[in-house]
Structure 1
Amino acid sequence: MGKQEILLKSGTNEMELLTFLLGDQHFGVNVSKVQSILQFDPSLVTKMPNVPSAMLGMMLYRERTIPLIDLSVALDMETGLTSERQIVIVTQFNNAVSSFRVDGVNRIHRLSWDTFVPVGDFISSSNANSIVGSVHVDDSEVMVVDMENILAEIVPSMVLEEVKSELLENTNKAKRENIQIIFAEDSRMMRNNLVRILHGVGYTNIRAFDNGQKAYETLSVMCDQAESGKKDAMRLPDIIISDIEMPEMDGLTLCRKAKEDLGLKQIPVIMFSSLINEQMVMKCQNIGADGYVTKPETNKLVAMLDKMCFDG
């Protein structure tokens, strides 16, 4: 079964969630990441030696092989269901096609990001990195899975690129520490890794937030203080980097509200997301984003930061 695309307007803070089952527990994934849904066929899977237990092997899909991950194992859940009932969700993000085995698929829900509760508000266990938030749908609590984090734990090369030497030794490195960055990213793993990489190239003045709402509230305070003229006022950022899909406020809405409601049209905004495709590029342009980069292209992001901060 292929996914049914429902086009959403840019910057409305809406998303579509595909809900699925692991045992009797409800989970969800952003429809934008789903390419297709298939019945699980063990004959299409080739097992691999010396791989993590969640890695079922490589699955034949449209004349190519892609990783197949057992989501219940990745989340440390025992469902007890047989493979005859199971479903494969094929995803596309981070410039890669992958697949995840689940116990069943329910339906697609159109929701507002402000109905999501961020993971940090209710989970403190080691599995917190694999869940980005919770939302109440049809009398059930649905945990939204961080597919990027799960895939990164099994295939680490898909997290973020390491920066090339020419960017590390760039003449801009000494100037980078003076650039103030606001960074919004809900995935703890992705947030920590990107901050580490940016620090390594000299961008050390970063304020990181786990959702767009917190970033927007900070920007609003900065604007108020800047208008007050106080000597100790926080200075406005030089640039904003934002993921797109986040609880409470998504990145597109953050960009639109920062530029329209706060009047920060002069501050460049870069969307750094696993969901950059032709349709998403149009959405980024519609809300006034100044640039967009697909995860895990960190080198392209650093080059874009340099260009926007030093070549303008």
Structure 2
Amino acid sequence: MESKILLENGTNELEVLEFKIDDHCYGINVAKIKEIINYQDVTPVPNAHPSIEGIFMPRDTMITAIDLRNCLQRGTSKPGGLFIVTNFNKLDIAFHVDSVVGIHRVSWADIIKPNATISKAEESISTGIIKYDDRLIIILDFEKIVADINPNTGLNVDQLKEIGPRSRTDVPIVLAEDSQLLNKLIVDSLNKAGYNNVRHFENGKLAYDYIQNLKKRGQLEQCKCIITDIEMPIMDGHRLTKLIKTDDATKEIPLVIFSSLVNEEMRRKGEQLGANKQLSKPEIGNLVQTIDDLVNVKERPGGGEG
């Protein structure tokens, strides 16, 4: 499949790999995929979560295999089919599926929210739906699937304990994060770190509109730092970054990409778009320290602000 358009950063597009489990169509962002391989025998892991099939070692790398059919409450997969080997949040994980249909280029603006057309099991682990030809493709939330199986892979809030006592600061921060759970966790974590003036939005478009309204009113001092996810409906984080960094009025606002997709290729794209920093989502402690540096907040030994 050609990807020439996607090589142009900030186009608000993504490529989705469509795959099937039984006759149901699902999708995953191609940016998460390392490779697709034929099913391999796995070694069961004692006392593992029921959705974990086991582990295997292609090319001397240990990979955990997850049974997507089981995650979707559609029974248990049998040997056969394919493994979609992924990398996100610094983890290599294989997802067992029946077959792969193909790759589709879509706009984030065309991805709609999950609704009553899908099952409760699907709704709880999906980020959106694509209408393609005569069928619906459900985009699954692979980060949530993995975090539900192993909560230790999620946001590492324990890192905040290492930071120590913090004074309060009203430095205004804008957050764009579509996951309700992560949105709340990030806001709560920033509050614990002393940042009590966080305006949070569920996609890049809402965050961008807010910043544009500040610009029109001559109040851009009310946005001292922007934190954005990459994968979001309506407007993704790369598009938001491009719009902010190509506008003379907003280009000096520090912008941090905080995403599960900060791999080598995505980091290169973020750099080209002008992101000031890029961090992987488990690193909430590093996020706080990065914001400290970008907005010049320093802590005195007694916890006072410098």
TM range (shorter): 0.7 to 0.9
C-alpha distance in 1 between matches for 2:108 and 2:116: 15
Aligned partner of residue 83 in structure 1, secondary structure: coil
Which residue number in structure 1 is paired with residue 207 of structure 2? Answer: 215
C-alpha distance in 2 between matches for 1:293 and 1:20: 29
Which residue number in structure 2 is paired with residue 179 of structure 1? Answer: 171
Q: Is the CA contact 1:119–1:134 (under 8 Å) kept in the aligned structure 2?
A: yes
1:141-172 deviation line (CA, Å, top 9, x unaligned): 11111111100111211102222434132xxx
Q: Is the CA contact 1:160–1:298 (under 8 Å) kept in the aligned structure 2?
A: yes
Identity, in percent, stands at 34
C-alpha distance in 1 between matches for 2:121 and 2:248: 37
Which residue number in structure 1 is paired with residue 264 of structure 2? Answer: 278
Partner letter of residue 83 of structure 1? Answer: P
Q: Is the CA contact 2:73–2:121 (under 8 Å) kept in the aligned structure 1?
A: no
**Aligned residues: CA RMSD:** 2.6
Q: Is the CA contact 1:88–1:100 (under 8 Å) kept in the aligned structure 2?
A: yes
Where do 1:1-312 residues align within 5 Å? 8-41=7-40, 43=41, 45-78=42-75, 82-84=78-80, 86-119=81-114, 125=120, 128-161=123-156, 162-169=158-165, 173-175=166-168, 177-226=169-218, 236-261=222-247, 263-310=249-296
Aligned partner of residue 152 in structure 2, secondary structure: helix
C-alpha distance in 2 between matches for 1:20 and 1:31: 12
1:114-153 deviation line (CA, Å, top 9, x unaligned): 1111347977957544111111123221111111110011
Which residue number in structure 1 is paired with residue 303 of structure 2? Answer: none
Change (3 A) 1:182 1:164: closer
C-alpha distance in 1 between matches for 2:268 and 2:64: 30
C-alpha distance in 1 between matches for 2:84 and 2:281: 20
TM norm structure 2: 0.87
Q: Is the CA contact 2:72–2:121 (under 8 Å) kept in the aligned structure 1?
A: no
Gap regions ≥5 residues in structure 2: 299-306
1:268-306 deviation line (CA, Å, top 9, x unaligned): 110011221232222112222111112211121111000
Q: Is the CA contact 1:59–1:65 (under 8 Å) kept in the aligned structure 2?
A: yes
Worse-superposed segment, 189-198 or 131-140: 189-198
Q: How many residues were matched structurally?
A: 296
Partner letter of residue 138 of structure 1? Answer: D
C-alpha distance in 2 between matches for 1:143 and 1:275: 19
Gap regions ≥5 residues in structure 1: 228-233
1:261 Cα deviation from its structure 2 partner: 4.5
1:254 Cα deviation from its structure 2 partner: 0.6
C-alpha distance in 1 between matches for 2:117 and 2:235: 18
Aligned partner of residue 107 in structure 1, secondary structure: strand
